[in-house]
Chains A and B, each alone.
Chain A
Amino acid sequence: MRWFIDSMVGYWILLLLISLGVAAIIYLVYLKDAMNF
């Protein structure tokens, strides 16, 4: 876990995983039915 903060690459990966997780939840809960792609 320490590596995710101490290394810039690790921090990048940590934030990306959190962001993609939040985005997936938002999409599945609120937007899936409204999808117009």
Chain B
Amino acid sequence: MFEFEIAGISVPLFMLILTGSTVGIVGGFIGVGGGYMVTPALIVFGFPGYMASGIDATHIAGKAVISTVRHRQLGNIDWTLGLAMVGGTMMGVEIGVRLLNWTKEHGVSGIVLLMATVVIMLGLFIYTQIETQAATKKIQKATAQGITTGREMKATRMPEFFQRIPLYPIVRCHTARLVISMWVIVVVGFLTGVLAGFFGVGGGFIRVPALVYIVGATTHIAVGTDLLEIVVSGGYGALRQSMSGNVDMLAVMFMILGAMVGAQFGSIATAYVRGPAIRYILSYSLVLATVGAFLRLAYLITGGVYEIFNFLAVVFTLGEMIFLCLFIVSLVWFSVRHRHGKTVPKWIPSLVVAVD
């Protein structure tokens, strides 16, 4: 056990390092900060709620830098797209925080937050699952016909609608290979920023699907560009939280110690898989977070009477991180096996990249 004097608690050190590394792997792979997993986990470890949020925000900023550097080397960042979103995101985050404060003043923040979490995450999960399954079937059909498919496959035409909006200035995103109105990018950044500010998270779990399904970026570019976004918004969040005295820097450092390895692995792992695999992992993280939020909501609504809800919520919070980590590691392992011509489950070839 390690004594954290600022937080006033003792925590097994390996738990912080393990949390940092598992969320680092997940975050580097699907382009999220992981706040919706880390904050509840830190509360479970014994950190006060406000400090869990502060530690999470600060460690996210550091972890996002590591992941962004890796994704830049992999060519997954579109700077035009990322920088165009930053302004809208920052404005949105500020509005989201004020909205959250309004619910706090009226004493309904806990219930509203959890209900909004359940609705939005469940909706995103359903849409992402349906679209990704359709995309995977397209890859399998093309492979069966002997057609070689690339790293990305989508089964939605929604981006074409938004790319046709003729509002000047129109920007050309070279790395993402798309031409789109800057206002679409700014509005997407603003709306995702509002949700991020309201939930008190980095917003990656909303921004990555928005970049894929509205702006039309490939999943890999969406992941890398979103992590760039999180460096900015997370850095600002870390500054605000530190100024409010909500951060135990020692705890942050131990989490980043784990994230140093995890985030790099997660980022590099994207090179082994196709876009649909990343979207599958993202959708799984959404549904598991929804189940965890629903269990916490059930515990709150029943007035804390049924301890089983509490126990299950805690187990789901911790289990979610381990599950996503195991899935990502196994995808990389199967990808390497597939490249060497060894047997893999038949659902693997449509999700992994066969050659370097």
Q: Interface residues, chain A, CB within 8 Å of chain B?
A: 5-8, 11-12, 15-16, 18-20, 22-24, 26-27, 30-31, 34-37
Contacts and interface: CB of A to CB of B under 8 A. Distances in A.
Contact of B15 (A5, A30, A36, A37): A30
A27 B323 contact: no
B316 interface: yes
A1 B310 CA distance: 31
A16 B44 contact: no
Most buried by B among A5, A6, A27, A36: A36
The bracket for how many chain B residues form the interface is 20 to 34
Interface string B129-149: 000000000000000000000
Contact of B319 (A7, A16, A36): A16
A22 B345 contact: no
Contacts of B322: 18-19, 22-23
B330 interface: yes
B47 interface: yes
A18 B329 CA distance: 14
A8 B347 contact: yes
Contacts of B46: 31, 34-36
Which of B9, B43, B314, B317 has the largest count of A CB atoms less than 10 A from its CB? B314
B319 A20 contact: yes
A11 B345 contact: yes
B235 to A, nearest CB: 28
A19 B320 contact: yes
B330 to A, nearest CB: 7
B310 A6 contact: no
Nearest to B320: A19
The A interface is mostly helix, strand or loop, or mixed, namely helix
Interface in B317-356: 317-320, 322-323, 326-327, 330, 345-347
B315 interface: yes
B323 A35 contact: no
A25 to B, nearest CB: 10
Interface of B: 9-12, 15, 43-48, 284, 296, 299, 310-311, 313-320, 322-323, 326-327, 330, 345-347
Contacts of B43: 36-37
Given A8-B347, A12-B284, A36 B47 contact: yes
Given A5-B345, A34-B11, A15 B47 contact: no
Contact of B347 (A7, A19, A35, A36): A7
Contacts of A12: 284, 327
A23 B18 CA distance: 12
B315 A30 contact: no
22 contacts: A7-B345, A7-B347, A8-B347, A11-B330, A15-B326, A15-B330, A16-B319, A18-B326, A19-B320, A19-B322, A22-B319, A23-B317, A23-B318, A23-B319, A26-B318, A27-B314, A30-B12, A31-B45, A31-B314, A34-B10, A34-B44, A36-B43
B44 A36 contact: yes
Nearest to B40: A37
Contacts of A19: 319-320, 322-323, 326
B315 A23 contact: yes
The 3 lowest CB-CB distance pairs between A and B, nearest first, are A23-B319, A34-B46, A19-B323
Contacts of B12: 30
Given A15-B323, A16-B319, A27 B345 contact: no
